[in-house]
C-alpha cells in the first residue's frame, strides 16, 4: 500500500489564503456588486488547491469538509429551535 505524507501549511500560506479570500470577498461585493457566494465558491478552490499542494488527497479534504459541516450543524439546529420558540 502506498503511503502519502501530508503536511500542515506554514503560517505564510495560511495568511496568504486568508488574504486572498478577503480580497475576493471585498472585490466581489464592494467593487463588482456580485453576491458573496461566488467569492466563497472561488475561495473553496483556493483552499482545495492549497490542500492538494500540501500533499492531501482530495477524498481526505472532502471528508474533512463534510465532517466539519456535520459538526457545526448541531449548533445551527439549536439556534433554529430557540428562534422558533422565541418567535411564537
**Residue 3 pLDDT class (50, 70, 90 cuts):** low
**What pLDDT score was predicted for residue 2?**
58
**What pLDDT score was predicted for residue 86?**
93
| Distances, alpha carbon 60 to alpha carbons 38, 48, 63, in Å | 24, 11, 5
pLDDT digits (tens, 9 = 90+) for 33-83: 999 999 999 999 999 999 999 999 999 999 999 999 999 999 999 999 999
Overall pTM surpassing 0.95 (yes/no): no
CB-hemisphere CA count at 13 Å for 19? 6
Inform me whether the pLDDT recorded for 14 exceeds 70.
yes
Spell out the residues 6+ positions from residue 75 whose beta carbon is closer than 8 angstroms to its own.
none
Amino acid at each position: 500500500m502506498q503511503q502519502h505524507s501530508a503536511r500542515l501549511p506554514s503560517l505564510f500560506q495560511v495568511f496568504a489564503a486568508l488574504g486572498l479570500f478577503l480580497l475576493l470577498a471585498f472585490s466581489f461585493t464592494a467593487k463588482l456588486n456580485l453576491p458573496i457566494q461566488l467569492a466563497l465558491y472561488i475561495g473553496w478552490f483556493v483552499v482545495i488547491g492549497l490542500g492538494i499542494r500540501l500533499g492531501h488527497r482530495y477524498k481526505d479534504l472532502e471528508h474533512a469538509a463534510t465532517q466539519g459541516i456535520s459538526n457545526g450543524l448541531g449548533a445551527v439546529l439549536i439556534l433554529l429551535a430557540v428562534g422558533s420558540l422565541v418567535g411564537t
